[in-house]
Structure 1
């Protein structure tokens, strides 16, 4: 005679099957919720949506940013969500110098820049810094927006410079993996200069020092006036590096 209740002989197998059915269905539902065109999940929280510079910060923002930085196509797409940047052909000067992928950046977040040719990854980090750190900081300290970020350059085919002279190694500027920021301009025209204001008027100095600190959130290497005399007049902000924040 057959057993009318076979599940009694193998309860673990049946419970495992039920568990897989329930949680498999839940996972499928979550997947459909993320990929459906009318998903209720916001772009900022949806891991299936690419990085949008202007999305609010969430616990997955950095993960999205790292994905965009690792893929040139994703980087260029993300940059268009929070910057004004013209895509340009890759530039090759020699076997050690060039820019790829190259953009001409003229606005990061809501702040203008004198057009600068740089690498997409450097521009994307700058846009995130401007939108999520600098603009809120200007509103907090000065009660107004940030209208411009001033800079010296991004690309320069040269060796790395130190206080002791040249190192013989190529600078990150040789591949536009960094940019040198010299100051800022507020909406009312007030200018902030690292060289003049780092130890100057209280509010200006506070803004510049906090700008230095927040840059470390978005760039792999940040060097400012506290690092050495070569950086007395600018922030060196670098896409590549080992996490130095000075």
Structure 2
């Protein structure tokens, strides 16, 4: 009995030593305290601190982490800024295209401008007039004397219109012609309308106001209604005679008057009056003699056969300043 007990004690010790050696060997081989990898799910403590093993959940069961919602105001501002940038780019595109187009246009030389002017007009009736700023009757290119003359015409109530320059060759030209249709603000008509230069128009308007109107009121107790002209601008010689000098009509510097109609309906023809036509003779003699205060040349009935039926008025310039009143 005692032997058995004494034998059991060394056996237990051998068993204990064997177990300890086995545990030591296993520990040296890395087999001790094997633990599974752990997934971090937001716990505050680690598995080492809790002392528990944690099982990893399958991927299908994991709850996705939701990111924080973006600031809508910032998104709106960014979107608005992007829209403005796109709009600015779109607005800049036509400007860039226009600049590219302008750069591609050929330089307008004098030859190109002349070609373009032949291919188009500026919308005037008939297409005969080109750029209005290039016309010599434009107030911006008109001599100062012509502008001053037109101012005086307006003060006298002359009814007129500007015309394109006339150049029929030689002396047959008017650089700044007018079409005259009336006097005294239209109360006195000129039929048909006359084409004259401004200085001749001014001299005739002064004669109508200062001589013709007072004379008709004195002798006929009536004012002038219509003045009938027989010739204004005309590219011809004096009295249409072959080989003669060019007439002042070819410069728009002369006007022929054939008849005068008064407000009371009386027609006063410019011709040699009958023996008993006292008022007509007196009127024609007065306006004929006084007209030399306004014109340098006054010719009428009785001078020659070419002036038997009209008055001829002009502003011919002579070397010695002579006036021909016949």
Q: Does the Cα contact within 8 Å between 1:128 and 1:218 map onto a contact in 2?
A: yes
Q: Distance in 1 between matches of 2:252 and 2:274?
A: 26
Give the superposition deviation at 1:198. 6.8
1:244 corresponds to which residue?
324
Conserved? CA contact 2:272–2:308, under 8 Å:
no
Considering only CA atoms, is the larger Rg found in Structure 1 or Structure 2?
Answer: 2
Question: Which of structure 1's runs of 4+ aligned residues deviate more than 3 A?
Answer: 165-168, 196-200
Q: Is residue 2:217 matched to residue 1:142?
A: no
Other-structure match for 1:86: 161
Which residue of the partner structure matches residue 74 of structure 1? 148
Residue pair 1:198, 1:209 contacting (<8 A) in 2 also: no
| 2:288 paired with 1:212 | yes
Question: Could you say what secondary structure the match of 1:80 adopts?
Answer: helix
Q: Relative contact order (C-alpha < 8 Å, sep 6+): which is higher?
A: 1
After TM superposition, the score normalised by the length of structure 1 is 0.66
Closer/same/farther in 2, CA of residues 85 and 151 from structure 1, 3 Å limit: same
For residue 75 of structure 1, report the CA deviation from its aligned partner.
Answer: 1.1
| Residue of structure 2 aligned with 1:112, choices 189, 201, 214 | 189
Deviation at 1:86, TM superposition (A): 1.0
Q: Deviations over 1:198-227 (max 9, x none)?
A: 766111121111111121111111111132
Structure 2 gaps of 5+ residues are: 1-143
Q: How far is 1:111 from its partner?
A: 2.0
Where is the helix percentage greater, Structure 1 or Structure 2?
A: 2
Superposed CA deviations along residues 147-192 of structure 1, whole A, max 9, x for unmatched, are 1111101111011238xx4343211111111011112111011100
Q: Would you say how many aligned residue pairs link Structure 1 and Structure 2?
A: 175
Deviation, structure 1 residue 100: 2.9
The TM-score, its normalising length taken from structure 2, stands at: 0.51
Quickly say closer, same or farther: Cα 1:108–1:200, change in 2 above 3 A. farther
Which residue, out of 97, 101, 116, partners 2:176? 101
Q: CA RMSD in A?
A: 1.9
Against the structure 1 CA distance between its residues 221 and 101, is the aligned structure 2 distance closer, same or farther, given a 3 Å change threshold?
A: same
